[in-house]
Structure 1
Amino acid sequence: MDKADDSSRQVSKWANLHRDILVIIFYKLDVRDLTMGASRVCITWFLASHDKTLWNTVDLAKFRQVDGESLSLRNFLNKIIKFFDIHETRRNLTNITKLSRSTPKNLFFDYDAYIEEEDLMFAAERMPNIEKLVLPRWSFQTKNSYQFAFSQWKNLETLIIANDSSLTGKLGFQEVGENCSNLINLKYMGDFEKNTAENIVRYLKNIKRLSLRCSSISHLGVLLLIRGLKNLAILNLSHCRESEWDHIRNLEMVTIGNLEQAATQKQVIFLGCSLNLNNCRVCKERPYCRFWPYGIKNWRNDEIKEFEF
């Protein structure tokens, strides 16, 4: 009985901690531990887990972090099953928004997450105050889902996109431009072709900071951006490579030097690698095939601070 009483008193002490202290403790937890663990301990912890300071940023990648503790076959198979679970994103969003409500200003999807149309619309409806958004490469959306989502995100200032044409489909630049007048920061990572540049110039006229870091780029497309975006102030082409198709079709022979000269003439800050790419560690690590493992490693980093997350 004495041990039971001691245990009961110990639980009571934790349950009676001041809310501000609980919030400080919860801030140290990752999203999974907070939503699936701490918030379910008792009513006091449940109420503290709603504190707005905990939910400024929602980073869904933290739901998929690999446990380093065990490499058993069972855990390995569980990770594979979880990777291909197309409903995982919705479950995570549901659990998070029960606590966060409309508080979040930053929403980061996992690089390899699968987003259905309903997932994007659900996130936009539940979290309408997003200012910084990171979209994954596996995200087939329709015009309607893009229109609904970005009509909710009127405060959006920074958009980061990982694009794989075979997995992402057509991006909704028109829907973004029509709804997000505050958008001034754009990062695009993947295959950057001339038609993508044309859509950005047509619909995202207010862009001031643009990063194509680690992308395969069309030099003609980048030149179109420099000339067409009137408010462009800084352009990051660090660790980029000219796309093979563009190299074949580049009849005007637009070089990196031409791009840098055009940026200088427009008073655009131009960020790029050394002309001797052998001196660039990030470029040397880039494989000629299987780009996306390299992309996972690098997409959270950027020389422009607004794109780091």
Structure 2
Amino acid sequence: MQFKDYYSVLGVEPSAGDAEIKSAYRRLARKYHPDVSKEPGAEERFKAVNEAYEALRDPGRRKAYDQLRARGYRPGDEVPPAGFGGAAPGAGGFDFEEVFAGGGAGGGFSDFFESLFRRAAGNGAGPRAAGRAHGMGDTRARLAVSLENVYRGDSVRISVDGRAFDVRVPRGIRPGQVIRLAGQGAGGGDLLLEIEYAAHPQFEVDGRNIIHSLPVAPWEAALGAKVSVPTLGGRVEVKIPPGSEAGRKLRLRGRGLPGAGGEPAGDQLVELEVQAPVPRDERQREAYAKLRDSFGGKWRQG
């Protein structure tokens, strides 16, 4: 299998901090999202960006990847299974298997990703192997599910140790909660699936609330507009009030993650990002000049 340079995919340096990696991911995911992008090969680029971010956003996975990269592998180099030799267990401190549900933002990863982060070493040594058995042969795995899975309460297909399972994701389940599959673990014990949320190209999570950054033109913010925004339940029309500034948050009540155990559903917060289009011709440059003159060249506050 071929080595992948996840830093190059995101267009960041290996020294990049978490905030820079996150910003690069959001920008590229928005650019190549299959629902909106007209770029050639957008779907494949979108998958590549998602995979790179999943590898680098988690400190343990990033450390494991960096150790493999430090061995001198470069894009296109063939990495034999032995080349992974213990990188993940010792480096990332993983003590259980990574499982990603198929489909959505969390699925469709390459063989390279799966070999490094799901079944990387397979040599039975180190903290990973010691942590796989709990009690009477119980097996722990970390299950990354999409926000859509959590919103709808989907059934997802997963594969653990070469065996496939259909798992129902309870609506509103939180990260860290565990789904127990009785009798499906190693040695006849239970399979314990600890939930985590897969990275999403359009939403961030804050408790039960989700946050969506919405790019708007200066005239939409200044004059008001009606725009279509994505939610976990589908697109809805949102009214931007006149005189809105960058960073203003519009609240869509009940459009966040569902509540569980009697908890109310969260909200969706739409954060406005005012973006000035680049003028493409003389007419547009003249329009910017008139705008500048109409404000007397003095618009900054403070």
Give your verdict on TM over 0.5.
no
Query: Between Structure 1 and Structure 2, which shows a larger proportion of strand residues?
Result: 2
TM-score when normalising by structure 2: 0.28
Query: Between Structure 1 and Structure 2, which shows a larger proportion of helix residues?
Result: 1
